[in-house]
Chains A and B, each alone.
Chain A
């Protein structure tokens, strides 16, 4: 087993004294249930706390603002999966970059909203919580942006520094705020933050803005005009690589070196000796690292220092050379005593183009899989991940997505998003989904319908059946026979349909009438789902025919129910009893043949009952025998009348 990289965090459970009692626990899909056992650390057992505690790892999915992140990124994720595979990767790069930007804008939107709420809330604890979430999102967006620059956009030498500059500028927005403040003041050149603003602009490579602000100082000191003009000229002439132009990298390099020599000459000539600020700026332009380090507070981070260093010393740096400069920058900038924070090591890993290390470190540092899952998926689409077989059999992308989606499934509402994630995990996604979808609680029919639709769309017939059965049983328990039948039809569950029909028939035997006629009368083709159901429908039809006085049709139907073996044996007695009024009619309804068949059925029935059942009370036996006697009598009489009628010849 691998060593643990960081110390695991301890979460105290309120009310438990770990010195006294042993703790028991069980894993859930996203949380742990913890309880106090009866065992003491030493000695015998004793009664304890009756509570069970649920410990959740991931609080974020329950935050209402962060929920938007999950929903919007789900939308982007699904769109990404649908990009066609057959296009060559060259054409897909701009698409991937734009998807990456989409993800980032979603993160930013969330961050801004959290920031607003953090500022406006009265509750101090809540404000700290929001503040923490904002800083995590800031870090996440920083890392994502860097990954986009280095891995997805994969800028070559020349453009690389420009992209990195953009990256730094985006994450150091306070310069503009300060500048606004300075420029809005009465005398900008005398504002205490004036030179900070100018130098910050230069450090970020924003020469035009620096020049604009410098002009304010220049107008104040007409005597030093020449000096300011010189610096302004240098700033203006600084070559910036333009990837669109036909200028090659070498040409740019030559131009840049010329310019740098010029700046160096100015320094050697002591042109700026009288104004230490201007001299500082000049030294920065030459890439003097000591001067850069003097402005640590303005740079505030080692990666800003790195990019500025690259801008002024190695603007044509190649991606493969980045990690040398990154490491040295970090060492130069940070105190040797301070331990690098997780963010720093992640960024360093990114500069070293070690994608796996980035993902690994992020997985440890963050408490849910959202970031690593989506980023890895995007990188995988860019074909940047080598197939890295983990011990568990699936690849890295699938592993992370499965973890993320499983976490989502524990949420009472976000489980629907997880379904799409499972869909796009080719190896294990289906199995995970099959296991999880059956455990979604079904409080209303509408929710059950949605879950069933999800299963049907993926041909998960077992799950469909089991869910329909649950709903049908619930309906049956509440005596909603129509609903129960509708669920059985959906599942094509013949066995359950039989059960429901039995209920109807039992009700009929008990009450003498049918309940829910609107259902039975309108079964339609659903009747064919189960034999019992067919019988029910036909039996009801018999009653209807009888009610409409269509006796011969009724009689034929009744007979066919028995002879075609549609009726269950247990019901034959009832059917025969129903036949009695037909037999007793003045008019002969049953023909001789039909009567013979009826008698045959009766005999079949009675021969089985020849053994008296000792459990049945004597009265029942009596009723039974009386019924049979009556039937035999009626049948015999009918037979006689039928023979006479059929034998009569009309004269």
Chain B
């Protein structure tokens, strides 16, 4: 197990090192798919330059990182090394996911014929390796890393949150969740799955009538809010002003920068009628957060899958998505390898995603450099890419629910008359 892991690690480090030294690095670092106004390395450098000039980096509209990040880079020059570290962190985070799977395996209250739905210990054994490979060797992660996008940092914090949650450490989990929320407010929605998982681990039923449930919920919330306050106040004392609040969170929520990216926001708000603008911004932002409630109700027994769903929804519907965000939820896919038999259109979706990935640079070139296409071309491909992602995620959701149904009802269902039954959603 350790040997192939080391191999993957060495391979991924080599790829990144080679790309860093090649002439491609500069090209990649300016691709709009890879960096967004929030996490572009060029803007971090600009923020540092402004700090050196004695100007507050938040007095302008170029720098939108959080104060902790800028002070981190103020002292750490060798950034490339950090990103490598981040990637490995990431990997170790995923490494421990299999604990959860073991846990699932132990519950043998399922009907007998579902045995083939369960995973053999051998399969389980290789999941961490697969996760590591999926993350470290994913071209999206590599691009994001070579572009020095600070998205890698956010992913690392999220991975640490998942890791500490799975290990059952409530305090660490709350701290890392606060850090992730502080970086980009969207991970706030991961509060629900984090809490659900910890409750499950402590064998506390999710029951509003029980005081233990409330006790733990309040405890976890206090830890989360407390660490968030500490982090925010720390940045206030580092910076000496509250300027970063509108410049970071206002920027994420009100979407003033319409630089093209792979998301849905930029062209929509570039073409929006001015008097509907505020309404649609509210609708689009609520859309990201809203799914938490029904998903938590539906998946309250399966918090790890809920984490996956939340991360995927955030990366699809957030205001400035990059390919690094997509890589994060794609790293989860090998964990759900047992769902493959229930996926309906995985072939189509993977073709769409691959084709879009190839078409992004082509249509960008045609629009921006060749002038032979216009913005609609690039916009069309972002639409298709997002439809592909939505189909992928909803397909996994479908497969997961269906597997759960089969686990409780048996794999080979019969009609009343004994013929083979088909399952439908009703």
Q: Do A and B come from one complex?
A: no
* Chain B residues within CB distance 8 Å of chain A: none
* Chain A residues within CB distance 8 Å of chain B: none
